[in-house]
Amino acid sequence: MGGDPSGDLAVVGPTLLGIDAGASTLKIAWCAPSGVPLHRAAVACQGQPSAALSRLLDDMPAELPGDRGVTVAVTGSGHALHQFREAVTVNEVVATARGVRALYPQARTIIDLGGQFSKLILLDPDPARPGSVADFASNGLCAAGAGAFLEQQASRLGLSVKALGRLAATARRGASIAGRCSVFAKSDMIHLQQKGTPPEEIA
C-alpha cells in the first residue's frame, strides 16, 4: 500500500466545474460557490473521451445564476487527455476520499470499482484531518477485478452489470474462478459454462 497522494481541492471563483475523466465514463458536475449542484451529467467514453466531453459541455445549461465565471477541476485516470487553461488537477484518490467524506462522514473504507482501476482507500479516522487518506491500494495494470472486465463478462453472459450483481446475490455458492488474471478468469468462466455450472454461481 502507498501513502497519501498529493492533491488540492481548494478552488476559487464564482462557479465550479468538476470533470471526472474515467476510463469508461466521463462525468461532470457544475456547482455554485457553496457547492450546491447546478448541473450533473455522465456519458460513456466509448474510446472517444474528447468527443464525450464535448457532448457533456454542449448539453450544459446556457444560463447560470450569478457570475458566469468558472473554475475547472479535473480528476480521473484520463485527466491528461483534457487540457484546460488554469484548471486545477486533483489526484483521483484524493478526489474520491473528499467526495465520500462530504456525503458519508462516518465512512472509513472506500471500494472504488472503476472501468480501468479498482481501488481500496482507507480514510484517516482523525477528525482533525477530514477526508485525508491514511492508505490505499490499486489493482495495478491487470484488468482483473476492474469494471471493464465485469462489463465484458456480463455482456458475454447476455446481462447488464446490475443484472450480473443481482444474479450473483441469488447464488447458494460461488464457482472457483481465477482472481489474479482476467485471461485466466475468462477461460475458467467459459469452462464452467461448458460444464453446465449454474449462471448465478459463475456470477
In the chain, domain spans: 15-138, 147-202
Report the candidate in 20, 22, 81 with the shortest Cα–Cα distance to residue 30. Answer: 20
pLDDT for position 193: 92
pLDDT for position 12: 43
Per-residue pLDDT for the chain (203 aa), expressed as one digit of tens each?
A: 333 333 333 334 578 888 998 888 889 998 888 778 888 999 888 778 888 888 888 888 766 555 557 888 898 877 777 666 678 888 889 999 988 988 898 899 999 888 777 889 999 888 777 778 999 988 766 666 677 788 888 888 888 888 988 999 999 999 998 877 788 888 999 999 999 999 999 98
* Residue 147 cell numbers, joined: 469494471
Residues in the chain: 203
For residue 124, the one-letter residue type is D
Report the candidate in 67, 72, 78 with the shortest Cα–Cα distance to residue 57. Answer: 72
3-state helix, strand, coil in the chain (%, to 5): 30, 25, 45
pLDDT for position 145: 66
* Cβ(106)–Cβ(136) below 8 Å: no
pLDDT for position 5: 34
* Cβ(94)–Cβ(132) below 8 Å: no
* Cβ(188)–Cβ(177) below 8 Å: yes
The CATH number assigned to the domain with range 147-202 reads 3.30.420.40
pTM of the predicted model over 0.95:
no
At 144 the three-state DSSP class reads coil
Domain spanning 15-138, CATH class:
alpha beta
